[in-house]
A and B are shown apart, each in its own frame.
Chain A
Amino acid sequence: MSDHDYRPKSKVGQWFNDRLPLLTLANHLTDYPTPKNLNYWWTFGGILTFCLITQIVTGLTLAMHYIAHADMAFESVEHIMRDVNYGWLIRYIHANGASMFFLAVYIHIFRSLFYGSYKAPREIIWIIGIIIYLLMMAAAFMGYVLPWGQMSFWGATVITNLFSAIPLVGEGIVTWLWGGYSVDNPTLTRFFTLHYLIPFLILGLVVLHIWALHVPGNNNPVGIDVKKPSKDTVPFHPYIVIKDGFALLMFMIVFAFFVFYAPNILGHADNYIEANPMVTPAHIVPEWYLLPFYAILRSVPDKLLGVVAMLSAILILAVLPWLDTSKIRSAVFRPLYKQFYWILVADVLILGYVGAMPAEGLYLLIARVATAYYFLHFLVILPVLGFKEKTLPVPLSITEPVLGGPLNLAAARNKESKIE
């Protein structure tokens, strides 16, 4: 944290601030020294905050009209779409907002992977982020169940059934989760309750995430520690605020396109058929943002091991700060890591693709290879790379390359970390 010697100018302000230092906090947030070379990949934190607030506000409004009952949920969604004033708008923002949220969070996570933002001293920020990501997946999954369409019902059945893979107590746990012997009304009501709760847990964790960020300050494209405040930093307001705002507006244009012109393209047509326990859809697929993990789950022939593999694929990220042994943060100065990074990106995209395909033949083979590579990347390549890789010389400060540092760094900076 920066300056705690801030004193409000007015008497009232001083009186209030001595009792509850909200003004000190506001001052800290405005003056917060931020590396001035942050590129647009760094704007997704702000974008994600916007996504969370949007989901909470639209979600609250939908909850005023939605009825969490197996016989009425589907109808109440149609009521929202038809008869509630601008209900269609609120629902389409909420439904597409989930996809936009995940789009942004994946960019945010992969930015962190590229620039080594998870490394010391930012491990706690990273781990809180992974917990947020897990909660997001839980919230999104339960939210998808609420319209009580065919994909809601069968998605819920498939995912909750995963717990039955746990030896001995598995079946009992599934019955306990369902609140009965199949996905039914009790399942729907508890999913609604949890879907309502989780965003507020996420909000609390976001506060911690940002708090933990403000202790060491932002990482940056060069990946070096910067003195704060210094020539290398700018105050958060107005510099970062306006830049985040600009990026957010660009993001909102994409968002608006989906909401107004392709509101159902990210969903599955089967979810406009009311849930029917007697009819199983031809293909049960999760939402696009869960597909890579779905592919990992299905690539393992054993049910229990499949579930273990899927969970490990996420949890392995939590120990990433200790798996990556390299002292250099930014991939800009890690020529080998940079290549492996892009292979990993491709690997995850491939997993996403095969996750949407039937688990058979060539698709299954590709899924298995991609799954194996995913774990290889984190468990073997990253630890070994830290010792073997010849890294490029790192500048002493952000301004150094500009002031006539080594030529290759100036080039690297121009390419990787454009500031406006």
Chain B
Amino acid sequence: MKNLYKLFSIIILIITSNSYSFAAEKVEYLKTDWSFKGLFGKFDRASLQRGYQVYTEVCASCHSMKYLSYRNLAEPGGPEFSEAQAKAIAASFEVTDGPNSDGEMFTRPGKLSDKFVMPYDNVKAAQAANGGAYPPDMSVLVKARGGGVDYIYSLLQGYEEAPSNVSLDDGVYYNKYMYGNKIRMAAPLSDGLVEYGDGTNATVEQMSKDVTTFLMWSAEPHLESRHKMGFKAIVYLIILTVLVYFSMKRIWSRVESEV
């Protein structure tokens, strides 16, 4: 048994270290307490709602979120806006629908079942508007970056003056957390950029945390139920394992007494 544990831990170590295999290239990310980490991790509801506000007022002018629907905003485990609030949010967007019976496309206010309206019609339009760079879709962004939430959180706060030995082209900015340090997105946040309804002070740090929390939820909308179910499943398995262990001892005691 001892050997088994040893091998298990070695293998798991090797496997997990693999995902950090390029650690040498990384800088230390800024750390903050994420409420959704850990065995019982849950989203901070108020932070998610503020994060949505930052997304929709700041990010959404360039970044799409095409896998989310307005109904998600009212679903359990998310920002949990009331249904009326979510409907109002949806209705504030113009959605292209159709064709109608005359064969014409038309616009109407958004409904809960609509996907988030995209800022650009297509990738080419997005590139044309952003100097050739495509602002990535944000639906699963935190899972698509090696450093995850810490990376996004740091990046938003990582803008600084370029060191004298780095020359930047027009429309390129210096960010100490970006891979290669050059980023085509201007610093998106500044203190007081949005006005939070709940009176929270909208510092860059606060907005970064809120919007990153929101992005975590958008990438893992079922995170809360996953954590809840995981805890139950593992407790169940441990109890069953203990019971089976004693049954096994009992059954095998017949053999040992025979020998």
Residues of A within 8 A of B (CB): 36, 40-41, 75, 78-79, 81-82, 88-89, 92, 99, 103, 106-107, 231, 234, 238-239, 242-243, 245-246, 249-250, 252-254, 256-257, 259-270, 272-273, 282-283, 285, 288, 291, 349, 352-353, 356-357, 399, 402, 418-420
Contacts and interface: CB of A to CB of B under 8 A. Distances in A.
A238 B248 CA distance: 9
Question: How would you classify the secondary structure of chain B's contact residues: helix, strand, loop or mixed?
Answer: helix
Nearest to B72: A82
Contacts of A270: 144
B166 interface: no
Question: How would you classify the secondary structure of chain A's contact residues: helix, strand, loop or mixed?
Answer: helix
B1 interface: yes
Contacts of B136: 273
Interface in B1-51: 1, 4, 7-8, 10-12, 14-19, 21-22, 39
A164 B222 CA distance: 43
B152 to A, nearest CB: 12
Interface in B73-103: none
20 contacts: A81-B222, A82-B72, A89-B226, A107-B11, A231-B259, A243-B252, A246-B248, A249-B237, A249-B240, A253-B234, A256-B234, A260-B229, A265-B19, A269-B144, A270-B144, A272-B144, A272-B219, A357-B21, A419-B255, A419-B256
A265 B16 contact: yes
B129 interface: no
A349 B10 contact: yes
| Residue with the highest number of chain B CB atoms closer than 10 Å, among A36, A261, A285, A352 | A261
B233 interface: yes
Interface string B231-243: 1011001101100
Contacts of B139: 78
A44 to B, nearest CB: 10
A420 B146 contact: no
Contact-size category for B: 35 or more
A192 to B, nearest CB: 21
A250 B241 contact: yes
B143 interface: yes
Contacts of A231: 258-259
Contact of B144 (A92, A238, A273, A356): A273
A252 B235 CA distance: 12
Given A242-B252, A268-B19, A270-B144, 17 more contacts: A78-B139, A79-B67, A81-B221, A81-B222, A92-B226, A231-B258, A245-B244, A246-B245, A256-B233, A261-B39, A261-B227, A266-B15, A269-B144, A272-B144, A285-B21, A357-B21, A419-B252
Contact of B237 (A88, A89, A256, A288): A256
A41 B244 contact: no
A356 B241 contact: no
Contacts of B118: none
B19 A266 contact: yes
Nearest to B245: A246
Given A242-B244, A253-B237, A356-B21, A107 B251 contact: no
Contact of A78 (B67, B146, B248, B255): B67
Interface string B108-138: 0000000000000000000000000000100
B244 A246 contact: yes
Nearest to B232: A260
B140 interface: yes
A99 B15 contact: yes
A36 B255 contact: yes
B122 to A, nearest CB: 13
B234 A239 contact: no
Contacts of B251: 238-239, 242
B247 A242 contact: yes
A234 B14 contact: no
Contacts of A249: 237, 240-241, 244
Nearest to B66: A75
A356 to B, nearest CB: 4
Given A75-B67, A253-B234, A420-B249, A234 B255 contact: yes
| Residue with the highest number of chain A CB atoms closer than 10 Å, among B145, B179, B255, B258 | B255
Contacts of A269: 143-146, 148
B230 interface: yes
